[in-house]
Amino acid sequence: MLALGKLLEMTLADHEPAAKIQLTHEGARLRWLTEGALEVTPPADADSGLDLLLSAGIHGNETAPIELLDRLLHDIARGDLKPRARLLFLFGNPEAMRRGERYVEQDINRLFNGRHEQTSGTEALRAGELERLAANFFAKPERTRLHYDLHTAIRGSKIEQFALYPWAEGRRHSALELARLHAAGIEAVLLQSKASITFSAYTYASLGAEAFTLELGKARPFGHNQAVNLDLLEARLRALIDGSEPATEPSPLDGLQLFAVAREVIKRSDAFQLHLPKDIENFSELPQGYLLAEDIAGTRWVVDEQDARIIFPNPKVQNGLRAAIIIVPADAERLG
């Protein structure tokens, strides 16, 4: 196997390879760009026209997606998976990965779309570097741009595998892309309706890619992800990479649950209280009239939405960031 296929091993060892470019027997080029970043270019006569960015490890303790990308890279480097798409593999937060922590100083996935310029530290610098890597990768004109940012969640979930679909002015969410996600095992999609500061929101809004944050089960240490079944997603990614993906129709969305953001609960101060059990699962239902959270100056969040559910409840976030999202069912009329 080509040495550059061991990107995860190099990243965890904080090792820079001596050879920055290697070729497979079939002529695909692997190019090491910087720590945790590898570009794969197919032979010119095999190029499908797809630019596919696959990122994981934005949160360093979310290991199942990291292991998935590692498997794909190993097979490309061995010649067992023959790419027809241009690929960029990114391990987002190498130092957090080495420590087995979600982040070191601050959450990288809240530092995109200019937010990193308002702060300092290694993770702010890394967010800026990830933006530059993505922008350079997606700079070629007249190509299909697709970004999957792969995560696992802090807590359990009533819907284990789900996606967040970013928003941008003047764009509609694609039914075709949702059908592709559904075929990859995604059970639900949250259709966002305002600008965000996550990595997928950056590539969607600023670089014109179709982009998604995929939540793929619960965060576990390396080597302990046997309970996370990513077979459907892995099969779909392999098909995207080698050009064997079957034709996808936008219509078969039966069974895919769609949700919209009703409100974000923003933590304003250290006095913030979230009135939920510590072990509550994502997509748990919230009764109308429920006092969800309280903060300074009498700020209260009371559930007034019908069929409301909660995702990403986390009272430990930094002040000024969201501590939970209230979501409600959505329908396919929002799609393009």
Per the annotation, the verdict on 215 as an active-site residue is yes
Contact criterion met (CB below 8 Å) for 282 and 295: no
Q: Is 74 annotated as a binding residue?
A: no
Output the DSSP codes for 136-168: HHTTSSS-EEEEEEEEEESS-BSS-EEEEE---
Q: Is 116 annotated as a binding residue?
A: no
- Residue 87, helix vs strand vs coil: strand
Selection from 130, 102, 103 nearest residue 116 by Cα: 130
Strand arrangement, sheet containing 291-294? 273-274, 291-294, 300-302
Q: Is 62 annotated as a binding residue?
A: yes
Cα separation, 293 vs 139, in Å, equals 43
CA distances from 327 to 120, 192, 262, 277, 307 (A): 32, 10, 5, 18, 8
Which residue do the tokens 């990288």 mark? 108
| From 123, 177, 215, 245, the catalytic residue | 215
Contact criterion met (CB below 8 Å) for 259 and 329: yes
Mind telling me the catalytic residues? Answer: 215
Annotated binding site for Zn(2+): 59, 62, 151
